[in-house]
Amino acid sequence: MAVSCLSLSITNLTVTPATKSQKQLHTKKPLNSTLKSLSKSGKLDEALHLLLESHQSRTPFGQPNLESYTTLLHACISRKSLTHGRRLYLHLLQSEDDELLLKSPTLRSKFITLFSACGQLDEARRAFRHGIEEMDCVSESVYVAMAIGFSKNGNFREALLIYWEMLSKGVEPGNFAFSVALKACSGIPDTRNGKAVHAQIVKAREEPDQVVYNALLRFYTECGVFDEVLKVFDDMPVRDVATWNALVAGYVKKDQVFEGLETFRKMQREKVGFSWVSLTMILAVSARLTALYTGKEVHGQIVKSAECPDVLVLNSLLDMYAKCGLMDYCRKVFDGMSFKDLTSWNTLINGYAINGWMTEAMTAFEQMSEAGYKADEVTFISLLSGCSHAGMTNEGQILFDRMRTEYGIDPNLEHYACLVDMLGRAGRIEEALEVVKKMPMEPSGSIWGSLLNSCRLHGYVSLAEIIAKQLFKIEPSNPGNYVMLSNIYANAGMWDRVKLVRELMEIRGIKKEAGSSWVQIRDRVHSFVAGGGFEFRNSDEYRKVWNELTKEMEKSGYRPDTGVVLHDINEEMKVEWVCGHSERLAMVFALIHAGSGLPIRITKNLRVCADCHTWMKHASKASQRKIILRDTNRFHHFHEGKCSCNDYW
């Protein structure tokens, strides 16, 4: 009803002479307020028409003025309507109102904003340059609009150039200019320029505001100068939630996730509060740490909140549950989301895939298309690597082809890596090598690494040597590669070669990264380093649980396989050594401290070794616990002496 009334009024206005009702409209609603109400209801066609007609005096209204143009332009920006904006711009250029465009920085800025918001940087640039050379002074706002346009489109270098151009014209930068310049420096990142901007901020007449300070924090985080992050943070007169969030982000970026968590807790203690951004980051941290308890706490905060949570925080909630191995929770949250985006679907699918639930992953993939979302390269990486781990080679190959033909996605290096891994794991190494030969890019270290792993799985020793040669060329100092080769020799009983690899590592000064595992008990994450934790291992409670466990496990047939040990020590010491692997320490600790019967979630910084994998299977049976072990490579759900990976990892 309301819609038809409005459109009627416009037709009447433009064609027929004024009637009684229009006179009323005229007196009550002059041009600009009519434009405003039309814009508000999204009737841009009619608003534009009215403005152009008024300009030709074909309406009872007067001539459009600056306000008329900005009103309409404002509507174009909010609806990202490029077509209406273009027509308005051309109209201004062609009419005598051209002057308006040159004189009004507001109008010029808004056109720049509109064009760049619609991704039309060339047009934005033209609007920016139009007549600029003849002008004595261009307002800061015009430069800022242009710089923001570039920066929003990821064109940080050009954004910085605009900033410097502004300075060279003698325009004094204010806080708006500072924040966009810093944003550009963070995006590149460009330490030198950013520091220069920092110096200008210090010298500026205007006091830096909250946004500038926070942008500084982000800039120093992005270029890895963490000392400055702390310094700026300490010197700030006022700290808001975004400030604290920036500090958390700084710690996370530095891989100091515990400090990130601690900072978040400090925010609560100091009554700073939190925002969706804070919760999003903490959920991501919880996902990394498999800190289910912390993640659930945050979930509680989300539920308690009066506001409707945004899609990003829910996406990271999905990921947290997925990374903790709780796919039914993940699914429940997903189904309850009133607004989903591509990332939501990708997170769900990836969750199923990393947990080894490929039937569910494929079903979700189908549902995704039905719901009108188009799978992207991330979706396919999850699906392909899931197929690879699940041994679904044929399905994976079909997916790889569908990705190109149905979805028009050119496979990137990661997709090829999945394909190579898939074929290699299935023992089809020749085909895998064929893919490596034919693919359009240089094979990466990870591709040779996955081929080497395939050789390990299938006991191809001589091929492994050839591949290792390639691999060591690309990644000469990655200890994992040497460990893998050594394991291949050990499995084949070639102990002299094992020794050779060990010596090679010594000569090249390569040390195996210390294995560490962690497990969360209530609100605390406990971490263990391989061969460490002596105090704990000497405690009575440890010995008691360890001995009981070992006795049970020996009954069910567990015998240590010491081939995984790289060190040159006697057999007894080797057994001792594998017993000190970090995931076992974490497991015993959890058995002592976690609530009885609860599943145990352990996360490890390396790939789990073959002996620990066997050990965990027996341990799950002996202790009657579900164990969810997440290593760098994938998830292992141990239950009743079996692993979800079917020993295929």
Which spans of this chain sit near DNA (rule: CB under 7 A)? Answer: 74, 77-78, 106, 109-110, 113, 140-141, 144-145, 148, 151-152, 175-176, 179-180, 183, 209-212, 214-215, 218, 240-243, 245-246, 249, 252, 275-281, 284, 287, 310-313, 315-316, 319, 341-344, 346-347, 350, 354, 377-378, 381-382, 385, 414, 417, 446
Nearer to DNA, 446 or 491 (CB): 446
Which is nearest to 16 in space by CA: 25, 3, 4, 28? 25
What strand order describes the sheet that includes 627-630?
524-529, 516-521, 600-604, 627-630, 635-639, 642-643
Nearer to DNA, 145 or 358 (CB): 145
Distance (Å, whole) CA 398 – CA 401 = 5
Nearer to DNA, 287 or 505 (CB): 287
Q: Could you tell me if 576 and 531 are in contact, meaning their C-beta atoms sit under 8 angstroms apart?
A: no
What are phi and psi for residue 318, nearest 5 degrees?
A: -55, -45
Least distance to DNA, CB of residue 256, Å: 14
* Residue for token pair 């985080």: 221
Least distance to DNA, CB of residue 410, Å: 13
Distance (Å, whole) CA 247 – CA 16 = 64
Least distance to DNA, CB of residue 146, Å: 10
Least distance to DNA, CB of residue 35, Å: 15
Rama region for 531: left / alpha / beta (φ>0; ψ in -120 to 50; rest): left
Least distance to DNA, CB of residue 87, Å: 19
Least distance to DNA, CB of residue 456, Å: 18
Which pair of tokens denotes residue 98? 């051209």
Least distance to DNA, CB of residue 144, Å: 4
Least distance to DNA, CB of residue 558, Å: 30
Distance (Å, whole) CA 9 – CA 22 = 8
Nearer to DNA, 123 or 140 (CB): 140
Distance (Å, whole) CA 439 – CA 444 = 11
Nearer to DNA, 260 or 533 (CB): 260
Least distance to DNA, CB of residue 279, Å: 7
Alpha-carbon Rg for the chain, nearest whole angstrom, is 32
Which is nearest to 110 in space by CA: 153, 77, 159? 77
Nearer to DNA, 207 or 572 (CB): 207
Distance (Å, whole) CA 248 – CA 281 = 8
Nearer to DNA, 10 or 348 (CB): 348
* Residue for token pair 């990271």: 316
Least distance to DNA, CB of residue 570, Å: 38
Give residues with Cβ within 8 angstroms of 627, minimum separation 6. Answer: 587, 599, 600, 602, 616, 619, 620, 636, 637, 638, 639
Least distance to DNA, CB of residue 588, Å: 29
* Residue for token pair 């590149």: 188
Q: Could you tell me if 152 and 186 are in contact, meaning their C-beta atoms sit under 8 angstroms apart?
A: no
Nearer to DNA, 114 or 622 (CB): 114
Nearer to DNA, 12 or 141 (CB): 141
Least distance to DNA, CB of residue 285, Å: 9
Nearer to DNA, 104 or 491 (CB): 104
- Tell me the DSSP string of 348-397: HHHHHHHTT-HHHHHHHHHHHHHTTPPP-HHHHHHHHHHHHHHT-HHHHH
Give residues with Cβ within 8 angstroms of 35, minimum separation 6. Answer: 47, 50, 51, 68, 71, 72
Nearer to DNA, 70 or 550 (CB): 70
Pair type for strands 627-630 and 600-604: parallel
Burial 164-184 (b: 16+ CB within 10 A, else e): eebeeeebebbbbbbbbbbbb
Q: Could you tell me if 485 and 470 are in contact, meaning their C-beta atoms sit under 8 angstroms apart?
A: no
Nearer to DNA, 149 or 533 (CB): 149
